[in-house]
Structure 1
Amino acid sequence: MKKYSTIEDTIGSTPLVRLQRIPGSAIEARGNVVLAKLEGNNPAGSVKDRAAHSMIRGAEERGEIKPGDTLIEATSGNTGIALAMVAAVRGYKMTLIMPDNLSLERRASMTAYGAKLILTPAKEGGMEYARDLATQMQKDGKGKVLDQFANPDNTRAHIETTGPEIWQQTDGEITHFVSAMGTTGTIMGVGTYLRSRNPSIQVVGAQPAEGSQIPGIRKWPEAYQPKIYHPENVDAFELISQTQAEDMARRLAIEEGIFAGISSAGALVAALRVAERANNATIVFIVCDRGDRYMSTGVFN
């Protein structure tokens, strides 16, 4: 029988495209190119498809879970949607816990894949509260927490797939890698792989400026810092304001035809700062999801 692909087989191998207008003549005059890795092209719409697939497959290979089991995860959206998709394909029940101040599109996407959604009050602690509840539910025997914040399979997904893709797509010419920082799986994994090929590559993280709330970009309190995060693996941090990220999300759509989420735009703000300082640089930033996931927030009005 001919072997046909499944939806899982379409995860990864996303395009890398050059920005044409936003960088401007001054950045071009410095010999710099800014490239966008379009992770919204993954089947469930974000870079988190890679981590979700890796975490579920990894747990299966270790004999920790089997089809029919219930999986639990605290999420701000993209990981939950990706896990719901992979769980649907592989035959798991999925319970997702998310703060109630995140977009309606994210909620609808999770339940469309058949996941059970628990909304927690953002005023009681947001993601930190959601993570604590997931841990308690596992202790109560209600399912298995995959824990994207501490699971090395999160990072491994990007060491094995995203990093090699970027290296190949740039013919090894990449000089700077820029990513929003949430769970930090993407920046840790891609950075690890790229620097295994060229130790001089600079890894830059986008973090929220004081008082800014940008979905997908976090600066965690010490007690909740992801265990997969190693700060020494990031060379520089760029603080991004909510206004800067939202303005850039609109510009990306209008000027480049790239309809991307707010954290993706924040990563571009950081990448442009790098481009204003560097010379003869090949700068890659992650477009971690699509803009249609944020329509109800009004950011594109």
Structure 2
Amino acid sequence: MNYQTIEDTIGKTPLVRLVRLVDESIRQRNNVVLAKLEGNNPAGSVKDRPALSMIRHAEARGTIKPGDTLIEATSGNTGIALAMAAALRGYRMVLIMPEDLSVERRQSMGAYGAEIILTPVKGGMECARDLAEQMQRDGKGVILDQFANPDNPRAHYESTGPELWDDTNGEITHFVSSMGTTGTIMGTSQYLKERNPAIQIVGAQPEEGSRIPGIRKWPEAYLPKIFDRSRIDRVESVSQAVAEERTRELARREGIFAGVSSGGACDVALRIAREVENATIVFIVCDRGDRYLSTGVFPA
């Protein structure tokens, strides 16, 4: 028998239709809103795809080898995914993250054997990224660098995009993704636009003053190097309050237990569904809601 390993279970996640959040005005416009359930990946998020991609391709180039130390600044999901991939491929993993991120995320990383370094809240992800670069300069490990590594969007060009095209029989008209490192939207956009340039690519970002895990509006100096604004047709802002309420509605009304960035993407997808006609709108459900139980987003 040729049994699968855990690596083989990454990707091919379900694509499901929203039923109760789609109101009569959306149905009258003959629109379908679909959710890509990336929480079904083995380490629980869309980041499983680029985590394994970055390690595999670095190995192929000879940049790293099992036994080496890997370093990454992460807001959570990439860290968990890298911790899993490092564990199964034999690396020591050091993860640097702001101290205010949920305890569930930290515990998940630790469960895979990763070492965690916390940075001050006021420094945000920028501080974590600066520390990672300093550690690499000091010879303490190798940064895979999800923000600049082309193997991040490559994972979505090679897997997420083709899955969406195939699962919708090429009928997808709009793709909505929250933007953090931007790897998901960059790689998926490239694939879908090659198949049909008319497909609209929509990014979700937080409103000024909102803190939504997994979504960022980067200062110019820290914009991810993999980001190419020309690959996005439209950017929509989402408030923290709206993203959190949509997240709760996804669980209560659709049975989709997801993280807060997914609520933001869902809200944007529903906005679009009230504007257009005869559309097939897909949004990314980045991860699972159990990573946010300690944050107070979900009522006890």
Q: Within 1, Cα distance between the matches of 2:22 and 2:45? A: 24
Unpaired segments ≥5 residues, structure 1: none
Deviation at 1:83?
Answer: 0.1
Deviation at 1:269?
Answer: 0.6
Deviation at 1:3?
Answer: 2.5
Q: 1:240 aligns with which of 235, 238, 241?
A: 238
Q: 2:203 aligns with which of 199, 202, 205?
A: 205
Q: Within 1, Cα distance between the matches of 2:9 and 2:201? A: 27
Alignment of 1:99-110 (within 5 A): 99-110=98-109
Tell me the residue number matched to 1:167: 165
Deviation at 1:126?
Answer: 1.0
Tell me the residue number matched to 1:228: 226
Equivalent AA in structure 2 for residue 56 of structure 1: I
Alignment of 1:114-263 (within 5 A): 114-123=113-122, 125-263=123-261
Deviation at 1:154?
Answer: 0.1
Deviation at 1:274?
Answer: 0.7
Kindly provide the CA deviation profile for residues 41-84 of structure 1, in whole angstroms up to 9, marking residues without a partner as x. Answer: 00000000000000000100000000000000000000000000
Equivalent AA in structure 2 for residue 298 of structure 1: G
Q: Within 2, Cα distance between the matches of 1:197 and 1:233? A: 14
Q: Within 2, Cα distance between the matches of 1:252 and 1:25? A: 18
Count matched residues: 299
Secondary structure at 1:299 match in 2: coil
Deviation at 1:31?
Answer: 0.5
Deviation at 1:248?
Answer: 0.4
Secondary structure at 2:21 match in 1: coil
Q: Compute the RMSD of aligned alpha carbons.
A: 0.5
Q: Within 2, Cα distance between the matches of 1:25 and 1:62? A: 53
Q: Within 2, Cα distance between the matches of 1:28 and 1:191? A: 26
Equivalent AA in structure 2 for residue 269 of structure 1: D
Q: 2:265 aligns with which of 264, 267, 281?
A: 267
Unpaired segments ≥5 residues, structure 2: none
Equivalent AA in structure 1 for residue 279 of structure 2: A
Tell me the residue number matched to 1:23: 22
Secondary structure at 1:277 match in 2: coil
Tell me the residue number matched to 2:60: 61
Deviation at 1:226?
Answer: 0.1
Q: Within 2, Cα distance between the matches of 1:202 and 1:107? A: 35
After TM superposition, the runs of 4+ consecutive aligned structure 1 residues lying more than 2 A away are none
Kindly provide the CA deviation profile for residues 214-258 of structure 1, in whole angstroms up to 9, marking residues without a partner as x. Answer: 001101000000000001111001110000000000000000000
Deviation at 1:210?
Answer: 1.1
Equivalent AA in structure 1 for residue 265 of structure 2: A
Tell me the residue number matched to 1:98: 97
Q: Within 1, Cα distance between the matches of 2:33 and 2:132? A: 39
Q: Within 2, Cα distance between the matches of 1:94 and 1:293? A: 20
Q: Within 2, Cα distance between the matches of 1:224 and 1:84? A: 24
Q: Within 2, Cα distance between the matches of 1:259 and 1:220? A: 27
Tell me the residue number matched to 2:31: 32
Tell me the residue number matched to 1:42: 41
Q: Within 1, Cα distance between the matches of 2:3 and 2:30? A: 44
Kindly provide the CA deviation profile for residues 267-291 of structure 1, in whole angstroms up to 9, marking residues without a partner as x. Answer: 0011111111110000000000000
Secondary structure at 2:202 match in 1: strand
Q: Within 2, Cα distance between the matches of 1:143 and 1:239? A: 36
What percent identity do the matched residue pairs reach?
Answer: 72
Equivalent AA in structure 2 for residue 238 of structure 1: E
What TM-score do the two structures reach when normalised by structure 2? 0.99
Q: Within 2, Cα distance between the matches of 1:103 and 1:235? A: 32
Q: Within 1, Cα distance between the matches of 2:163 and 2:121? A: 37
Q: Within 1, Cα distance between the matches of 2:175 and 2:137? A: 38
Q: Within 2, Cα distance between the matches of 1:115 and 1:71? A: 10
